[in-house]
Amino acid sequence: MNILIVEDHPMVAGLYKGVLADFFKLNNPVIYIAADATKAHELTDGNICFSLALIDYNIPPFLQGNVKSGSDITLRIREYNRPCKVIMITAHSEPLLIYDILHKVYPDGLIIKSDLTSDNLCTIVEDVLMGDHYLSDTVKKCNDRIWKENLMLDQENRKIVFYMLKGYKIKDLSTVINLSSSTIQKRIIQMKKLLGVSEEGNLIKEFVSRGLV
């Protein structure tokens, strides 16, 4: 079993290696460590078949190979070693970065470093190797926030709330919006659920407070 760790902090890389070596000791794991994008680029050329890769987002770049972050290494693994399960780890929790990683890179797992411990690492790895997709708690919160923002920026949803603000009843909205009554009702239910409100009045307030209507 071949495992790749891409991490530029030796102590952290050593911790990951120790935990994984002990967990997979019956599989005789061979663990490779890349401390920068140059070494990671070299190891992911397809000559070594990795079963698992732990990849830090922030790594010293390899500009000649057009590798600027752990995301580029993950995409490279997808190209040359598709069966490999990839878990990305980052200290960043900015929603836009999380969104880009989830929707452009598609790792099998994404963890914010503050959510990771030596105790839960093995459980996460085991779940991912079994085919599960893992998002740490902070990643889930960021993802929920992104979905809420996208939901509120949707043009049709803004129209629905705009006309509700103007006094239109829900049953009459289909006369001014090019959507069926059932579709409008479903959108309203979805918006209330994701924004955590139960009344249409509170839904309108959420949109007004953000200047979206």
Mean pLDDT of 100-118: 93
Q: What is the pTM of this model?
A: 0.74
Question: How much is the pLDDT for 212?
Answer: 67
Quick: pLDDT tens for 15-31. Answer: 999 999 999 998 999 99
Quick: pLDDT tens for 75-94. Answer: 999 999 999 999 999 999 88
Label each residue of 48-86 as H, E or C.
CCCCEEEEECCCCCEHHHCECCHHHHHHHHHHHCCCCEE
> Cα–Cα distances in Å, from 192 out to 155, 169, 176, 188?
16, 16, 21, 6
**Into which CATH architecture does domain 150-210 fall?**
Orthogonal Bundle (1.10)
Beta bridge partners of 87: 54, 109
Domain boundaries, given as residue ranges, for the chain:
2-146, 150-210
Quick: pLDDT tens for 148-205. Answer: 777 777 889 989 999 999 999 999 999 999 999 999 999 999 888 877 888 888 888 8
* Reported confidence tier of residue 144, pLDDT bands at 50, 70, 90: confident
pLDDT at 146 over 80: no
Q: Which of 94-98, 137-141, 170-174, 206-210 has the lowest mean pLDDT?
A: 206-210
Quick: pLDDT tens for 45-57. Answer: 999 999 999 999 9
Mean pLDDT of 121-135: 96
pLDDT at 96 over 80: no
pLDDT at 115 over 80: yes
**Bridge-based pairing state of the strands 30-34 and 2-6:** parallel
> Which CATH fold topology does 2-146 show?
Rossmann fold (3.40.50)
